Structure 1
């Protein structure tokens, strides 16, 4: 019974509310609310930022491959040449024509002037006889041969030295000079030093020894 009563009251109230609402709408007191437009959300897909590329490490250059060095071919060691016997200078005997042309006998001393009161007799002429030149190549003289300079042998220096000697009556060299050079001072000096120690058979005029000049050729020649 109580429930029906409440239902009637509720229905009356609802009717009144509808009437009030209709009256207010009619009088314009109540306007319908404007529809609210919902905002349209537009999504724009932005491109994702690309990360900076990480620099890749540069590949290390390969070290150059060591080149194989071929050992130089071993040069054959030259065998030392067999030592040759030390060459000795050759003494060449001058011709008789050259010796006679070069021989210069000492001039005979001039006689002293005789006093007018008693003139002296003329000096006796020298013993007649053929004149000979000094001799240097006789076997019994034992003259040593000039030594061949070592440096001249290495440089292959050769030649003939002509030495002019003034020989005394006793066969000793009074002066030794260079008459003709070989073209090499070492050979010239070797010939001069050796001939200074020589002994000679003096020149003869008849049976008497006299001073005279003689040319001594000394040839330096290497073996072939």
Structure 2
């Protein structure tokens, strides 16, 4: 027993529906092909237009005309100075006559001034004579020198002779003292000077007149034995 095919199995109604579907598909495909050109035209119309705005090129700058050639410098000579006619020298007028002045009267000479004769200068006073040295015989005392023997000199056995030079005034007072000879001990020398300083002399005289002068006074310092 043979198996029926698929065509035999379809009912007539189904066959008609399949034929209608096939015809509808062919019709749709044909209609689609007819609409391609219309779609392309619509798309072309709806597409935006792009315009490039490009500035036109600038016109070429006209070439500058060449500078004119330098004009030669023309030195204009200064106009000549006008000639001025020299004025004629004035004619010297004749000198006027002037009467000479009378000579001046002679002036009597002035009397000579008296000559003043300076009085003669007084003779220069003679220089005072240097102080004299009084001899030992002229020395007299009102209060003789009394030097004090220093205790330290006694303890140390210091002894010696001191000579003092003294200037005695007209009043008998010692005015200046000089150490002519030292004992070798400063304490004894100072004691001798102090003793003569405290002394008073009788003013020496010469021709009945008090005089001054230098005198030498020996002061011995001796230890008691």
TM-score by length of 2: 0.39
Work out which structure has the larger RCO, using CA pairs closer than 8 Å and 6 or more positions apart in sequence: 1
Question: Greater Rg, structure 1 or structure 2?
Answer: 2
